Structure 1
Amino acid sequence: METVTMLPRTELLRRAVELGPVLRANAQASEQRRRLSDEMLEALGGSGLLRMRVPRRYGGYESDMRTVTEVLAELARGDGSTAWTASVWLISSWMVGLFPDAVRDEVFADPDVRISGILSPGAVAMPTDGGYLVNGKWSFNTGAQQSDWNVNAAVRPTPDGQHEPVMVLIPMSDLQVIDDWHTAGMGASGSVTTVANDVFVPAERVLPIGPVIGGVHPLQQDPAAPMWRAPFMPIACTSVGATVYGLAIAARDAFLDRLPGRKITYTDYAEQSAAPLTHLQVAGAAIGVDEAGFHVLRTADLIDAKAVSGEPWSLDERARARLDLGAVCLRTKEVVDVLAGASGGSSLYTSVPIQRIERDIKALNLHAIMHPDTNFELYGRLTCGLPSNTQYL
């Protein structure tokens, strides 16, 4: 067991920047493979960035949310699927940090461990001697094939005949994988389906999810650590929103990289960069990128500030985290739509990054927790005085 000093944000960002060329070079091949390339995995693991949400006592960094957000956005500039997969691994590591010491000792024996996870309860955990028998399946299980553990949501029966949501921590070797990830976006994320058939899960590897969602973690083993002083949903929303924000920056980068020397066919513009339309498109994209950054970084900074002050989260603040995530997704999609539309017919080639960025953004805007309309409706509902219609706040 190794306690380390928290690495400064500048160092972790430097490592993320250094990964950029590897991610860009492997992005197309990874998409065709439908999971991250071995070179990407090796580079990501070697960077230590997956330790950002691992407890310090196990060699992790317990990085603050602003650092995590900026690092994930930088990874997304290289490849959206890599950043998305890393965000899932970081969120899941944070979740496992709430389990009892014996569980954490086992899982974090390797501080670079990869843990995937699903928050939607797709299985039933039935009590048995010493634990539970789990049966069910989880779709969209990002990075599962390249993970060591899965921490997934299930429901277990309660004495009053109802069901309680729980998180079950299962070694990947105990799960069946259905290789069904054939998609138009986020192709390299390997978000396959996993299946549990009568999988025994010891009682200590089952965690009630209600307190985690509510930000009251009775099993939190490091109460002095700021990293766990927040409800789950703002943390998750900010982590995945960072990938979307980074893709907006990537779209801007990709468009400007191809701009020199390009003309607008069937017009008198020998240089696309000379067209007033292009000037308006580039300026509008710059504003959209800034707006996306504002929304995701606002939530990240709020998480960090409240972690230090210990001030409780209001319902409005929790709903605003969902609102900010929806705004990040919407603004980024607008940016990418404009820049992809201005990239010309040659951008249809799979070797041109903007077409992959456009498909990745479209896929993320369809994610149930990220869909702008869903998040806007939720915030508006609460603002109008109606009760929440979701547990996921």
Structure 2
Amino acid sequence: MFDDTTQIIDRVRAILPQIAANAQKAEDDRMVPAENIALLKGTGLHRAFQPKAYGGLEMPLPEFENAIALIATACGSTAWAFSLLAEHNHQIALYSKQLQDEIWGDDPDTVASSSIAPYGKTTETEGGVRFSGEFGWSSGCDHAQWAILGCLRDDAELGKVYSFAILPRSDYEIRDNWYAKGMRGSGSKTIVVKDVFVPEHRIESVPALMSLTSAGGALYPDSKTYHVPFIYVFASCFSAVSLGIAERMLALYTERTQGRVRAYTGAKVGQSVPACMRLAESTHQVAAGRAFLEKTWDDMRSHAESRVFPDPQKMAFWRTNQAYAVKMFVAAVDRLFEASGGSAWFDEAEAQRLFRDSHMTAAHAYTDYDICAQILGRALMGLDPDPSLF
């Protein structure tokens, strides 16, 4: 059903009006509407990074991210949550076949949410660990059947090792505490785990996942998808969402300003020099950011297809390029929003939602440019990575 990736973008484009029509419902409900998830699953995009062995697409990264950017023009929250649900399949494909069979064997449409900061508490026991913790920011968790959760696991030789445990929905509760100004509709609630057993085959260390030495790291040697460390695929969705929001802001500003008339003078705002200059600069900025991202995504695709593992400096660029692009997109949105007038601040105004969601794309740990600048700067200077910078 979903064997042709070339038609994915057309399927996504066809449902954008319905996604956009549900944007206010997403805000009101503080989660992505079930209708949106069903529509998007109908395109097959959720199986972009699922192994072909389970009917997945093993889709090239650039095509996927362009589809996510398109969704974000209709609803940033939907694009944010859905992109993560889909991208987690790339990580799951690096786990044991036993786990993959558990997740996709009976229902290949199954997806997982995540909360990857290492808040989990583990106690080693026979065959696995006892696991507890509270994990915030799990976007789209209401629509997921599994959760990928971070923890620090004890190792006799290495000490605390950053790891991810994958738990079924029956092993955790969802705390409905997502009250946020940005990405309000993403449903990024808190997952609560109370002393459950997690077997060994559902746990992998971050070093193993990043080096493709995990249990599933060599399961798909002929694939052109999994030869890039998962974290860069995971992080790429944030910039794609930011891009889509910025591109929608360009279109919205143009539409509104062309017909806007100043209340006190009757002057046509769209004919003013400042309005045209702001639009021109933001257009250039968004276009430059898109080109930068597309080059980065294509570079990642090339490495995956050629099965060439990136060197440390290359990985530093992949880690940080997306944050710089987000910085550009936020600046472009701000330039237009501050000149959109008082009516743009009403609750029902799309512009203020774009403004809020744009800033949220820059608030994630992976899009914090202060962190990213340090990471790249150290790499360019030939210094060892700072373990305090993730």
* TM-score when normalising by structure 2: 0.95
Are 1:331 and 2:344 an aligned pair? no
Deviations 1:200-240 (A, max 9, x none): 11211111221212344452221211111001232122222
C-alpha contact (below 8 Å) 2:227/2:309 kept by paired residues = no
Distance 1:161 1:222 in 2: 29
Are 1:296 and 2:293 an aligned pair? yes
Where does residue 132 of structure 1 map in the other structure?
A: 129
Q: CA deviation at 1:166?
A: 1.6
C-alpha contact (below 8 Å) 1:52/1:90 kept by paired residues = yes
Q: CA deviation at 1:14?
A: 0.6
Equivalent in 99, 107, 124 of residue 103 of structure 1: 99
Distance 1:268 1:31 in 2: 34
Distance 1:99 1:372 in 2: 31
- The one-letter code matched in structure 1 to 2:49 is R
Where does residue 184 of structure 1 map in the other structure?
A: 181
Deviations 1:7-62 (A, max 9, x none): 233x1111111121111101111111100112212212222110111111111111
Deviations 1:275-316 (A, max 9, x none): 111110111111111122122212210111111222221111
Distance 2:139 2:93 in 1: 19
Q: Which runs of 5+ in 1 are unaligned?
A: none
Distance 1:58 1:304 in 2: 21
Report the CA distance shift for 1:111/1:161 in structure 2 as closer, same or farther (over 3 A).
closer
Q: CA deviation at 1:85?
A: 0.6
Q: CA deviation at 1:161?
A: 7.3
Distance 1:204 1:386 in 2: 35
Q: CA deviation at 1:374?
A: 1.6
Equivalent in 223, 228, 233 of residue 230 of structure 1: 228
Q: CA deviation at 1:391?
A: 7.7
Equivalent in 317, 320, 325 of residue 317 of structure 2: 320
Report the CA distance shift for 1:159/1:364 in structure 2 as closer, same or farther (over 3 A).
same
C-alpha contact (below 8 Å) 2:88/2:234 kept by paired residues = no
C-alpha contact (below 8 Å) 1:329/1:371 kept by paired residues = no
Residues 239-318 of structure 1: matches in 2 within 5 Å?
239-267=237-265, 269=267, 271-318=268-315
C-alpha contact (below 8 Å) 1:54/1:62 kept by paired residues = yes
Q: CA deviation at 1:248?
A: 1.0
Report the CA distance shift for 1:227/1:136 in structure 2 as closer, same or farther (over 3 A).
same
* TM-score when normalising by structure 1: 0.94
C-alpha contact (below 8 Å) 2:37/2:82 kept by paired residues = no
Equivalent in 28, 31, 51 of residue 32 of structure 1: 28
Where does residue 371 of structure 2 map in the other structure?
A: 374
Are 1:70 and 2:66 an aligned pair? yes
- The one-letter code matched in structure 2 to 1:260 is Q
Distance 2:196 2:34 in 1: 29
The SS at the match of 2:156 is coil
Distance 2:2 2:332 in 1: 39
- The one-letter code matched in structure 1 to 2:73 is R
Where does residue 90 of structure 1 map in the other structure?
A: 86
Report the CA distance shift for 1:296/1:391 in structure 2 as closer, same or farther (over 3 A).
farther
Q: CA deviation at 1:381?
A: 2.4
Where does residue 143 of structure 2 map in the other structure?
A: 146
Identity %: 25
Report the CA distance shift for 1:161/1:114 in structure 2 as closer, same or farther (over 3 A).
closer
Q: CA deviation at 1:150?
A: 0.2
Distance 1:103 1:198 in 2: 20
The SS at the match of 1:226 is coil
C-alpha contact (below 8 Å) 1:19/1:75 kept by paired residues = no
C-alpha contact (below 8 Å) 1:157/1:164 kept by paired residues = yes
Residues 212-223 of structure 1: matches in 2 within 5 Å?
212-220=209-217, 221-223=219-221
Distance 2:211 2:388 in 1: 9
The SS at the match of 2:62 is helix
Q: Which runs of 5+ in 2 are unaligned?
A: none
C-alpha contact (below 8 Å) 1:326/1:373 kept by paired residues = no
C-alpha contact (below 8 Å) 1:54/1:61 kept by paired residues = yes
- The one-letter code matched in structure 2 to 1:16 is V
Deviations 1:86-126 (A, max 9, x none): 12112211111112222111211322212111221110222
The SS at the match of 1:388 is coil
Report the CA distance shift for 1:392/1:172 in structure 2 as closer, same or farther (over 3 A).
farther
Distance 2:111 2:389 in 1: 24
- The one-letter code matched in structure 2 to 1:28 is Q
C-alpha contact (below 8 Å) 2:224/2:306 kept by paired residues = no
Distance 1:390 1:295 in 2: 27
Distance 1:87 1:163 in 2: 30
- The one-letter code matched in structure 2 to 1:46 is G
The SS at the match of 2:100 is helix
C-alpha contact (below 8 Å) 2:95/2:214 kept by paired residues = no
Report the CA distance shift for 1:26/1:239 in structure 2 as closer, same or farther (over 3 A).
same
Q: Which of 112-121 and 331-340 deviates more? A: 112-121
Where does residue 168 of structure 2 map in the other structure?
A: 171
C-alpha contact (below 8 Å) 2:97/2:216 kept by paired residues = no
- The one-letter code matched in structure 1 to 2:364 is H
Distance 1:280 1:208 in 2: 50
The SS at the match of 1:122 is strand
